C-alpha cells in the first residue's frame, strides 16, 4: 500500500489549493469524528455471536450489534448493506481489515455472469465515509453507492477475480469524493452512473481492470460536474470510456485530466454507438462541456485501437469538447 500512501501525501499538499474541491458542492464525510463515536460506545459483532469461521452467518450478530449501537457508537465487524442512515463511517480501525467475499470467484464461475451478492452496498446514506478497508473477491460488484449524498471513499484496495460483473466501485450518487484507491479486477474500475452530480475521483490505480467509465447511459440521463484526475491505468480494457447507444438526457461539465496509461486496449473511448448495448429509444445522450487534458503513455496497439475514439450520437452531437496535451503512442507497430 505504499503507493497509495504516497498519493495521500501528495493529495494533502494539493488540498491547500482551492481548486481541489471545485467539483464538490460542499463537505463530504460523517459529521461526527471516529474518536467521539468510539467514546460513545463500541459494539463488537464478535460479542454478539459473530465468528470468523466461514460458516457462521454474521447477519444476526451484525443486526444485534447495530441495534445495540443505534443511538451512536462504533459497530465493529463486517457489513454488507447499509441503508437510510446519516453521519456514518465504515472502516477498519487498524487499517488492516479486509472483507473476503466468500469464494466469490468460484461462485461467479459456477453461476455465470452477474449473479451473486454485492460485497458492500450503501443506499440512501448521507454524510458518510468508507475507508482503510480491503475488499476481496466479491461474488458480484465490490462497492456500490446508490442514491447517497456527501460521501468520501478513500485508502482502499479492491482485488477481484478476472471476470465481468466484478466491478470495483460503481456509484449513482451526489457529492462524492473517491480518492487513493487501487483496484485489480476485470470490469469497471470506478464508474459513475445516472443520475449523479458533483463527483470527484482522484488518485486511482486501475490494474488489469475493465477501466473507469461513465455509463452505460440510458433514457433521461442526468450527470453533471464530474472530475477524474490522476488516474493510472495498466493493462485494462480502457483508460476511460463513455458508453451509450441511443438514449436521452445529458452528461455535462466533465474534466478528465492527468491520466497515464500503458498496455491498455482502448485509451479515451467515447462510444455512443456502443455495440455491447442494444440501441434504446432516443436521439442520444447530449455530451457537452468536456475538458480532457494531460494524457500520457502508450496503448497496446494503436493501429487497431487508436488512443482517441470520439463516436458521438448523430442525433445529439458532442459540443464544447476541449482535448489538449494528449501524448500517447503505440506499443505495437509504428502507427496509430
Ligand X SMILES: *[C@@H]1O[C@H](CO)[C@@H](O)[C@H](O)[C@H]1NC(C)=O
* Interface with ligand X, residue 126, by CB under 6 A: yes
Contact with ligand X (CB under 6 A) among 207, 263, 265, 323: 207
Rounded least distance, CB 275 to ligand X, Å: 27
Which helix H or strand E contains 106, and what residues bound it? helix 104-111
Active site residue 187: yes
Rg of the Cα atoms in the chain? 20
Give me the catalytic one of 187, 253, 269, 271: 187
Contact with ligand X (CB under 6 A) among 85, 289, 296, 321: 289
* Interface with ligand X, residue 336, by CB under 6 A: no
Tell whether the torsion through CA atoms of 278, 280, 283 and 288 is positive or negative.
negative
Active site residue 6: no
Rounded least distance, CB 58 to ligand X, Å: 27
* Interface with ligand X, residue 198, by CB under 6 A: no
Which helix H or strand E contains 191, and what residues bound it? strand 188-192
* Interface with ligand X, residue 253, by CB under 6 A: yes
Integer angstrom CA distances of residue 286 from 248, 272, 283: 7, 10, 9
Site string for ligand X, 14-53 (x = CB under 6 A): -------------x---x----------------------
Between 24 and 74, CB nearer to ligand X: 24
Contact with ligand X (CB under 6 A) among 78, 216, 225, 236: 225
Half-sphere exposure of 267 (CA within 13 A, CB side): 32
* Interface with ligand X, residue 324, by CB under 6 A: no
* Interface with ligand X, residue 313, by CB under 6 A: no
Close Cβ partners of 294 (under 8 Å, ≥ 6 residues apart): 257, 258, 259, 324, 325, 326
DSSP labels, 255-285: EEEEEEEEEES-SEEEETB-TTS--BSSS--
Instruction: Give the rounded distance of the alpha carbon of 99 from its chain centre.
Output: 17
> What SS3 state is found at 68?
helix
* Interface with ligand X, residue 158, by CB under 6 A: no
Interaction site with ligand X (CB under 6 A) = 27, 31, 86-87, 126-127, 150, 184, 207-208, 225, 253, 255, 289
Amino acid at each position: 500500500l505504499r503507493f497509495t500512501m504516497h498519493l495521500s501525501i501528495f493529495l494533502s499538499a494539493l488540498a491547500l489549493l482551492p481548486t481541489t474541491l471545485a467539483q464538490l458542492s460542499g463537505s463530504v464525510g460523517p459529521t461526527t469524528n471516529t474518536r467521539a463515536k468510539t467514546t460513545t460506545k463500541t459494539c463488537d459483532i464478535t460479542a454478539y455471536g459473530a465468528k470468523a469461521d466461514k460458516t457462521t452467518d454474521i447477519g444476526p450478530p451484525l443486526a444485534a450489534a447495530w441495534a445495540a449501537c443505534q443511538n451512536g457508537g462504533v459497530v465493529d465487524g463486517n457489513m454488507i448493506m447499509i441503508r437510510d442512515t446519516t453521519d456514518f463511517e465504515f472502516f477498519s480501525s487498524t487499517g488492516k481489515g479486509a472483507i473476503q467475499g466468500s469464494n466469490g470467484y468460484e461462485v461467479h464461475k459456477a453461476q455465470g455472469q452477474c449473479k451473486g451478492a454485492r460485497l458492500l452496498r450503501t443506499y440512501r446514506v448521507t454524510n458518510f465515509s468508507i475507508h482503510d478497508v480491503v475488499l476481496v473477491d466479491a461474488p458480484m460488484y465490490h462497492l456500490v453507492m446508490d442514491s447517497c449524498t456527501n460521501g468520501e471513499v478513500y485508502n482502499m484496495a479492491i482485488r477481484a477475480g478476472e471476470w465481468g460483473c466484478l466491478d470495483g466501485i460503481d456509484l449513482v450518487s451526489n457529492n462524492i469524493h473517491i480518492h487513493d484507491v487501487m483496484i485489480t479486477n476485470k470490469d469497471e474500475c470506478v464508474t459513475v452512473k445516472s443520475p449523479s452530480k458533483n463527483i470527484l475521483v482522484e488518485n486511482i490505480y486501475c490494474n488489469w481492470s475493465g477501466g473507469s467509465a461513465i455509463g452505460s447511459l440510458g433514457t433521461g440521463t442526468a450527470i453533471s460536474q464530474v472530475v477524474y484526475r490522476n488516474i493510472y491505468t495498466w493493462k485494462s480494457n480502457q483508460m476511460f470510456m463513455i458508453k451509450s447507444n441511443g438514449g436521452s438526457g445529458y452528461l455535462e461539465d466533465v474534466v478528465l485530466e492527468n491520466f497515464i496509461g500503458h498496455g491498455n486496449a482502448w485509451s479515451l473511448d467515447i462510444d455512443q454507438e456502443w455495440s455491447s448495448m442494444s440501441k434504446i429509444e432516443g436521439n442520444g445522450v447530449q455530451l457537452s462541456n468536456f475538458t480532457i487534458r494531460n494524457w500520457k503513455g502508450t496503448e497496446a496497439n494503436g493501429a487497431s485501437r487508436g488512443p482517441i475514439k470520439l463516436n458521438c450520437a448523430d442525433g445529439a452531437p458532442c459540443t464544447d469538447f476541449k482535448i489538449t496535451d494528449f501524448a500517447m503512442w503505440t506499443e505495437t507497430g509504428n502507427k496509430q
